[in-house]
Amino acid sequence: MKVTLEQWRMLQAVVEAGGFNQAAEMVHKSPSSVHAAVHKLEQQLGVDLLAVQGRKVLLTEAGRALLRRAHLLLEEARDLEDMAEHLATGVEAEVRLAVDQVFPANRLTEGLAEFSSHWPKTRIELRETVLSGGVELLYAGEVDLLISGLPVQGFIGRPLMLAEFICVAHPEHPLHHMGELSFRDLKRFRQLVIRDSSSAHRLDAGWLEAEQRWTVSHVATSLRMLKLGLGFAWLPRHLVAEAIASKELQPLNLPAQGLRQVPLQLIYADPEGAGPATRALAESLLKVTARG
């Protein structure tokens, strides 16, 4: 390369300060060294970057175009130095998080926003999983943190919240016209089930004795099918609350509305070796979940 980042920094200082003397004070250099750096930059590039009008130093058209790109270079260089400083102090460049889809999305985004406000330089890799899919990632060493409703052998989790599932169907579904239901009544109708995202050991959870069953990969797909009257399903209460309020879905008349609760927990892949960013993300998720 013909030029250095330091030369671009000198040019940027001259423009921001409005002159060579003011720029020299800003960057703690002598005016002559700032002037020499910018003059050499112009010589090496073969283009005039500054024009003097009276007491003002202004960018030429070419200078304006080049400095716009140089701003990006200087920002990237500062970010690179910041990242190196974080890594030198043991701060992770990235935290890998797996979250079961039953965990409320609003709590997840609030937790990530809380974390980002204090750790803006740390990247997040988010994996949304179902049932044992997150556990598989944990065992494979592909995540640093896991939110799951399953007990994980060899790991101790921190309690987060109870995920409450409710059995619902479209208001015109035949099951709503049968009075008080037993689980035996459900067998003759189609159940919508969320597929376990694990590739190796698929786990079935909940009541799965319906003669007809459609399996989908995402909670949102199941919700759309329910609203079309295509079956019944157990879904997290927080995901169906709005549809129930708008009369698009209705809880089935099962004992206790077919409610079931699943305790969600936050699990470290390496509790002792977790870095400060991983611990900070865990605390942010615990904090926003505790708000209720």
Q: Tens digit of pLDDT for each residue in 119-131?
A: 988 999 999 998 8
Q: Determine the pLDDT at residue 9.
A: 92
Domain 98-160+264-290: give its CATH code: 3.40.190.10
CATH 1.10.10.10 residue ranges for the chain: 5-88
CA distances from 23 to 34, 44, 105, 165, 284 (A): 8, 21, 49, 64, 42
CB 8 within 8 A of CB 49: no
CB 48 within 8 A of CB 12: no
List CB contacts of 246: < 8 A, sequence separation 6 or more: none
CATH 3.40.190.10 residue ranges for the chain: 98-160+264-290
Say what the pTM is. Answer: 0.67
pLDDT in tens, 181-194: 988 888 889 999 98
Local structure of residue 195 (DSSP, 8 states): P
CATH 3.40.50.410 holds for 5-88: no
Residues of the chain with pLDDT under 50: none
pLDDT in tens, 134-155: 999 999 999 999 999 988 988 9
SS3 helix, strand, coil % of the chain, rounded to 5? 45, 20, 35
Q: Determine the pLDDT at residue 255.
A: 86
Local structure of residue 85 (DSSP, 8 states): H
Domain 161-262 fold: D-Maltodextrin-Binding Protein; domain 2 (3.40.190)
